Amino acid sequence: MTEYRRSYAAGGTYFFTWVSHQRRPIFIDESAVNALRNAVRDIRSNAPFDIDAWVVLPNHIHCVWTLPRGDANYSKRIGQIKSRFNFYAGSRFNNPEINSASRRKKSESTIWQRRFWEHQIRNDLDFQRHVDYVHFNPVKHGVVKRVAEWPYSTFHKYCERGIYARDWAGEGVPDGDGFGE
């Protein structure tokens, strides 16, 4: 079996995807999203990073982060955020009855999948495509018809800054060629 090797670049910008265990819809109410916000805020206070784009969907998260100069440890941050979320909201979402023997042996919760997806952003076009992908994702997954309808996204901050119009992407995929992942 091939061992996966992650790309670590100090001060790098990355696109990430984290998924809930068995794709369970844990982020379907404001309290779960608030627990995640609190977890992110806590971890950023000790291990800072810039959030360039973010969307929280019912069963997964996409984000684009930029790490500080001289720091490449995004894995630690993601692990700490997942752990802190488990602390804040785990009793509501951890279900030991669906835990596999392997997960029980490692004392893992049933909130998150073990791994996450990462992609190092290579240039400005790659950055823009991933930010667009993050913001369009609620439409892609059919949870809303228009990007602006989804509340758990940095899309709204981008609109406030004049980067996107509120009706950006309408109900279609912007720049479909090479869009997103």
Distances from the Cα of 88 to the Cα of 40, 91, 103, angstroms: 11, 8, 20
Query: Are the CB atoms for 28 and 57 separated by under 8 Å?
Result: no
Q: How far apart are CA 128 and CA 119, in angstroms?
A: 13
What torsion do the CA atoms of 149, 154, 159, 164 make, to the nearest 10 degrees? -90
Q: Which of 74, 133, 152, 158 is catalytic?
A: 152
Is 152 assigned a catalytic role? yes
- Please identify every residue annotated as catalytic: 152
